[in-house]
Amino acid sequence: MSSSPKPKLLWLQSITCNGNTHSFLNHPDLFSILSHFEMIHHPVLEGSATMQDVLAGAVDCDVLILEGSFKEEGFLKAGVEVSSLIHTYANKAKYIITAGTCATFGGIFKQNDPENISGLCFDIEEKTSRYVRYAPKLISLPGCPMHPKWMSYVLLMLSHGKKIEIDNLHRPVELYGYTVHTGCTRNEYFEWKIDTENYGFKEGCLFYEQGCQGPYTRGSCNKILWNDTSSKTRVGTPCFGCTEPAFPRISLHKTKTNMGIPAKMPMGVPRRAYLTLTGVVKSFKIKRFSERLMEYDK
């Protein structure tokens, strides 16, 4: 067994709702994951340093988890610019994990001050001035909030000294290589272009009218289930694209269409291919898909 000291973990909050903090606290093996690290400070869990120590810029940090949108000037904690704190610890850290869409791309809170609020290294999809400095150690975990198991994947890979493959926005490919559509229980209805009758049914796809963004949103929500249990689309809620750089878009409960066809195509699918396929499947009427999945009292 190696006796080398555990990496020091610092969880820092910027402009946030604390949603990523609470999402991670739901992890079923939280404490075994954290046992690979020395917790320096966390908004809720016990750490070796106080917030005052953190504010003084005085503590060590190997892995920095940043939660919340970034603002260079005007967001203070106890008189200290949070941006300067982030820079202090981002420089010290060997790895920076941006937890959630706010820290990664700017997220919801960006919309109140789009000029000045962004993610740490990305402003929606554009690289910020900070990108060059932090890119070599940056791992993005977008999601509003991020899934607890996406975070544990990164932490465990780091603590085991493994290399995490990432894409151009620094998202781990093993987590974001999928779309939210992958594993959705409504996939058959998607294939056969069958809309759901209304909210509140197991049957039917939410892509055609209800605004579901699953087919073009990166994330493994339907593979690694939420709370080990379910997902938005499994309970009939459309995917709102919360892992995507431009989250939140407008009119989230409506599918934008052109001549009855969704304006935005499933990821990577050419419009012509989609239309061809639609033409074919719409020419058949499959009885099973117009029936309830299960009937009671028969």
Partner 1 sequence: MKKIQIRQLIEKIEGEAELDFVFNKGKIEDVKINFGFYRGIEEILKGKDARDALVITPRVCGICNHAHLLTAVRAIEDGYRKAGVPVELSSKASDIREFTLACELIQNHVKWLYFTILPQLELYVNQKSEENYAIKATYLSSVITKALAIFAGQWPHSSYAVPGGVTCDPTHLDVMQATSLLDESITFFEQVMTGISLDRYLAIDSVSNLDQIEGDFGRLLYLLGSNDMAEIGQSHDRFIVFGDSPLSKAGKSIVTNFAKVDVRYVKESIQKGTVAKAVTYKERLYEVGPLARGMVAKTPIVKSLHKRYKDSVLTRIFARVHEVAQLLDYSKTLLQNLQLDELSCSLVKGIQVDTFEGTGVVEAARGSLIHTTTVKEGLISNYEIITPTQWNLSHGTKEESGIAIEAMIDTSSIDEATFIFRAFDVCSVCTTQ
CB of 185 vs partner 1, minimal distance in Å? 11
- 197 near partner 1, rule: CB under 8 A: yes
* Alpha carbons 293 and 201: distance in angstroms, whole number: 10
CB of 293 vs partner 1, minimal distance in Å? 9
| Angstrom distances, CA of residue 257 to CA of 9, 187, 211, 242, 278 | 46, 20, 10, 21, 14
Show contacts with partner 1 in window 112-141 (CB under 8 A): 112-113
Show contacts with partner 1 in window 235-294 (CB under 8 A): 235-237, 240, 242, 248, 250-254, 294
| Angstrom distances, CA of residue 176 to CA of 139, 144, 150, 228, 246 | 12, 14, 9, 18, 16
Out of 58, 201, 281, 290, the only residue in the binding site for partner 1 (CB under 8 A) is: 201
Longest Cα pair distance anywhere in the chain, in angstroms? Answer: 70
CB of 237 vs partner 1, minimal distance in Å? 5
Strand order in the sheet with 63-67: 38-41, 8-13, 63-67, 95-99, 138-141
* Residues facing 139 on adjacent strands: 97
Show contacts with partner 1 in window 54-113 (CB under 8 A): 55, 75-78, 108-109, 111-113
Q: Is 233 in contact with 206 (CB distance < 8 Å)?
A: yes
- Between 19 and 215, whose beta carbon lies closer to partner 1? 19
Task: Name the residues that contact partner 1, by CB under 8 A.
Answer: 13, 15-23, 25-28, 30-31, 43-46, 50-52, 55, 75-78, 108-109, 111-113, 144-145, 197-202, 209, 221, 226-237, 240, 242, 248, 250-254, 294, 296
